[in-house]
Structure 1
Amino acid sequence: MNWKTDQPFVCLSDDAKVSRDKALWESEDLGGVTVNNNPVPKPIIGLIILTIITAFLVTTPLWGQRPTAGMYQGYVDSMDTPEVKAAKTDKEAMEKIVAMNKGTHFDALLERHPVTMDYLRLIRPQEKELEQKQQSGDKNYQDLKDYEVVGDKIVKANFEGNFREDGTRIRQQPSWDKGFTIDVFYVSYFLTFVFIIIKRLPPTTWQPKHGNQTTDVKINY
């Protein structure tokens, strides 16, 4: 093996391979196109890191959580309160409903999925039907977060999670899914592979002279 790992950020090849690579580099004229042994510019590295971080932040499943019946249950129940019924406009009623349901673990999701009074009126009958089944003790309706709000319909979520003790299945969207894990793996694999390829080349302190006498030089970036 012609690997050297004592200075992985300088070069991963041993001296013999580096010498062969230097000789090959000098002997190849590439049709008159000269290629220097410069390091990857730091702005390019920074741009790659920024792109990856941004891509993961905007695509993480946390930000793609679908609205559920359990999420709007508090909103629907608040529609029957005297304060909301006394509101003169739908806007005023909605403001009161939002204020009455602050401080729950649904705050972030409700902020990302705002609704209007007209929308609540559309899903209210379905919400109430699910609540009645839940209160009747039907184990298939014990958690309204298992049901998603799609348009003006409330349907059973198509996620299949672990089983509860009573045998029913949890159908709630995870905050981290397999697709995101695959993304993390392949991005890590790509960056590691590129790093190894670059560091198997001669150190960037050496620059080819393209047919002239070679020398080791210090490149400052």
Structure 2
Amino acid sequence: MAIKFDQPFYSLSDEAEQNRIIELWEAEKHGGLWEGNNRLPLPLTFLIALIVLTAFMLTMPIWGQRPTAHDFVEHVALMDTPEIQAIEDPVAKMARVHEIAYQRADSRVKASLERHPITWDDLLNIAPEIREAQASGKYPLDYYSVLADTIVLANFEGNPTADGSPERKQPWWDKGYTIDVFYVIYFFIFAFFVCKRLPHFSRKPDMSNAK
């Protein structure tokens, strides 16, 4: 039952343990089935890795971040300008607002605007609330989440600020994601350990005498 680590990718069992397992496979009754000790096909191994990586990349909290009031400050500032007011069609009006605001935005805001487009009617609804939040100055605008045609103070509680109140910004990485990453890593390490305790796939049991 000794564990050896000199060749972990070959086998974690010593020679005696590998021989014992081979003998056990050869002696067991399998009802017409037998242990071939074949390796998992490499394409399937890569497919499993691809599925896991894709799942984690697509479920990162950053992709589920809600737009904030800060993302649309430039839209609110532009909506009453003569250039925008001269456009009659709401769709064209909003397209022009978005074009100008997008050019002036930083990379984070640009990504948010791409994921969360709004209409002219949405902007008309949230503009008074954004102006009110700006005027009050109680919280930074990125503490407010935009939900449909209204803004609400986010219920996230992050790191404490200078006055002791928690940050209300949606994190790009959260505890739940950390737990997921930990347990997936733990699972693959455990699966590797269990599989490598078996004889190397190059060693085949002789099943000709299996009963």
Normalising by the residue count of structure 1, what TM-score does the alignment of the two structures yield?
A: 0.89
Residue 129 of structure 2 contacts residue 151 of structure 2 at CA under 8 Å; is this kept in 1?
yes
Instruction: Please give the per-residue CA displacement for 1:57-115, whole angstroms capped at 9, x wherever unaligned.
Output: 11111111111111112211211212111112112211221122124230001100000
Equivalent residue for 1:173, pick from 160, 170, 173: 170
Please name the residue that 1:127 is paired with.
130
**What is the aligned-residue identity percentage?**
46
Structure-2 separation of matches of 1:83 and 1:210: 84
Matched length: 207
Any unmatched runs of 5+ in structure 1?
135-139, 214-221
Residue 122 of structure 2 contacts residue 148 of structure 2 at CA under 8 Å; is this kept in 1?
no
TM superposition shift of 1:185: 0.7
Residue 10 of structure 1 contacts residue 199 of structure 1 at CA under 8 Å; is this kept in 2?
yes
| 1:196 and 2:193 aligned | yes
| 1:113 and 2:110 aligned | no
Please name the residue that 2:21 is paired with.
21
Structure-2 separation of matches of 1:166 and 1:97: 36
Q: Within 5 Å, give how 1:5-154 maps onto structure 2.
A: 5-101=5-101, 102-105=103-106, 106-134=109-137, 140-141=138-139, 143-154=140-151
Residue 83 of structure 1 contacts residue 96 of structure 1 at CA under 8 Å; is this kept in 2?
no
**SS of aligned partner of 1:206:** coil
Runs of 4+ in 1 over 4 A off after TM superposition: none
Normalising by the residue count of structure 2, what TM-score does the alignment of the two structures yield?
A: 0.93
Instruction: Please give the per-residue CA displacement for 1:14-42, whole angstroms capped at 9, x wherever unaligned.
Output: 11111111111111122232121001110
Structure-2 separation of matches of 1:151 and 1:92: 20
Structure-2 separation of matches of 1:112 and 1:91: 18
**SS of aligned partner of 1:176:** coil
Structure-2 separation of matches of 1:97 and 1:25: 72
Instruction: Please give the per-residue CA displacement for 1:155-175, whole angstroms capped at 9, x wherever unaligned.
Output: 110100112213332100011
Structure-1 separation of matches of 2:104 and 2:61: 23
Any unmatched runs of 5+ in structure 2?
none
Q: Which letter maps to 2:176?
A: G
**SS of aligned partner of 2:39:** coil
CA RMSD of aligned residues (A): 1.5
Residue 27 of structure 1 contacts residue 211 of structure 1 at CA under 8 Å; is this kept in 2?
no
* Larger RCO: 1 or 2 (CA < 8 Å, sep 6+): 2
